[in-house]
Amino acid sequence: MILGYEALARMPIEPLQPPNWWLERAEELGLRGELELACLVAAAALGDPPSDRMLFVNVSPSTLTDPRALCLLDSLPSRLVIEVTEQEAVADYEELRKHLAPWLSRGVRLAVDDTGAGYSSLRHVIELKPDFLKLDRELVREVDRDRSRLALIRAVVAFASEVGTSVIAEGVETQAELDTLREAEVHLVQGYLLAKPGEPWPRVSAETSREPGPWTTRKETQSLERLRDALAKTTDRNGACSVVVEHLFRKGQLLPSLYLESQGRLRCVAQRGLWQVLDGMPGSVGITGKTWKGGQPIAVNDVASHPDYLEAIPGVAEVCVPVIIEGKAVGALNVESLSPLPIHLLENLVDYASVLSDRLRAIGNRNEDTAWQRAARASMSISGLTGGMRMRDKLLGYLLEASGMDSACLILHTSGGLKVESAGRLAAQLQSLSTEELEAMSALVGDIRSCYTAGATSGRGFVGTESLRNSGARAVAVLPLWARRQRRGTLIFAHSRPLRLTGDEIEPLEMLADSAAALLVDHSSAHHLQQV
């Protein structure tokens, strides 16, 4: 599955030299910035990549500070990713972050190029908190034969998973390298094995694009054994569920998610490929909810015509199987697909769910999280609010503390229409959302208790939350405000840097949303009494 392209600079003039040679010569003449700007102009002239895919471009820190570069932004593709190179040192990261801010606030994503090549690239990772880490090709070369390279790549992948960043391996040239990177759970790859540089926009053959095909019995027997071995190394339910969805995601163009029951509703424990998650499902809602409630698999080849389909992405097909422990359905393994379902997928998912059940039975299907403790503290603070001019400001502050995110927004339903109040780093972006966008996000949740992003920086999103991503948000959670059996509004949390959210962190926020809704209704009633 193709997720994006990288714009490569080529100078078809004498002497015929690679771009780094020309950049060095330009720097000697004090013209490096001019050459980089010319490359950006050339990238803009290519137009948008097909199918809304991303475009990656290399930019040095000094060029990012050039106002002329920012002026080119409107002519560049909307799904732009800047690769910050390590070819020049950064003396002041605080200053660089200030210059990056207008790019990021307009939806540009950030990648650090050549991660692992030297001290500078690692410093970029720590200071800039990028959406993507691009592994230096020297780390990737012959990784199938070098245990040291493989160990370092595994460490980078583990770090990226913790902070909600995706890893891209550059320079993949052999099938053995690709297979090893897949086993190391690297998220994305590029290189001559998959496609060589060409004219925009190159066509990639079905074979090299790695589209999912029939899952043969022999290959799936081997795949199931690899999954069983990986599960045997896990020690908690979140780790076990993550192993299963990673295993499925690496098969290509499948977007898997795994839900387990908590307090009578399904909670998403792990997913890959989606930028947002529908969570808190009852058994009466959605294909996933009904699979869990009925304890039987459901396969839908045309989701557009299915009455139970909940659109988290513009998908084509969906299949879901229950996770059963001791005869009771405790969750569901779901896969959404952007193409017709691969042959034998349903049977294979039943096997995957079975081996997961075995592991959950062994390690226990429970998980504790301090998010509830944060929510409890915020709930106590919210219950002590007594109204006043700054009541909503204080409420947003308490909600932000509990969420661990840096921005929040209240969308209130009033007789005069929607009223929006926001706070935090992305307050201006939240405040500027159109009525249509606010209504679209509010419509995501109702019977569904929440919708949130899950750290897949290249995943597909939905109208409303996608506009927030384009304006600089790297994590978003949407929750309904219900009080006295009426919908009172919507609560939105957003974060300006990549953040991996899970159901365990969102469920306490749902409880706080109920408390906030009750407070707002009580305050409104008291206000009307005072007016009388």
pLDDT at position 204 is: 53
Q: Do residues 82 and 99 touch, judged by C-beta distance below 8 A?
A: no
- Helix residue ranges per DSSP H, 315-470: 345-363, 371-383, 391-403, 427-431, 435-444, 465-470
Please give the average per-residue pLDDT across 215-242, as a whole number: 83
Structure tokens belonging to residue 297: 């698999």
Share of the chain above pLDDT 70, in %: 89
Query: Which contacts qualify for 525-532: CB closer than 8 Å, 24 or more apart?
Result: 526/387, 527/387
324-348 burial string, b = 16+ CB within 10 Å, else e?
beeeebbbbbbbbbbeebbeebbeb
pLDDT at position 312 is: 65
In 3D, which of 430, 411, 527, 422 has the Cα closest to residue 480?
411
CA–CA separation, 499 vs 80, rounded Å?
A: 20
Structure tokens belonging to residue 467: 């506009």
pLDDT exceeds cutoff 70 at 367: no
Q: How confident is the model at residue 398 (pLDDT cuts 50, 70, 90)?
A: very high
pLDDT at position 464 is: 72
Please give the average per-residue pLDDT across 136-156, as a whole number: 92
Each residue of 293-340: pLDDT tens digit? 999 999 998 888 888 888 766 667 899 999 999 999 999 999 988 777
For tokens 């909670």, name the residue: 267
Q: How wide is the angle at C-alpha 152 spanned by C-alphas 148 and 157, nearest 5°? A: 145
pLDDT exceeds cutoff 70 at 421: yes
Centroid of chain to Cα 413: 29
Please give the average per-residue pLDDT across 434-460, as a whole number: 86
Please give the average per-residue pLDDT across 233-251, as a whole number: 89
pLDDT exceeds cutoff 50 at 211: no
Q: Which domains, from first to last, does the chain contain? A: 4-189 (3.20.20.450), 217-363 (3.30.450.40), 371-531 (3.30.450.40)
Each residue of 61-115: pLDDT tens digit? 888 888 899 899 889 988 899 998 766 677 788 888 888 888 988 889 999 888 8
- Bridge partners (DSSP) of residue 322 are 332
CB count in 10 Å sphere of residue 6: 19
pLDDT at position 86 is: 65
CA–CA separation, 118 vs 125, rounded Å?
A: 11
CB count in 10 Å sphere of residue 210: 18
User: Quick check: bond before 201 cis, omega within 30?
Assistant: yes
Share of the chain above pLDDT 90, in %: 43
Q: Provide the 3-class DSSP secondary structure of residue 148.
A: helix
pLDDT at position 456 is: 75
Q: Do residues 201 and 328 touch, judged by C-beta distance below 8 A?
A: no
CA-based torsion, 84, 85, 86, 89: positive or negative: negative
Q: How confident is the model at residue 402 (pLDDT cuts 50, 70, 90)?
A: very high
CB count in 10 Å sphere of residue 230: 20
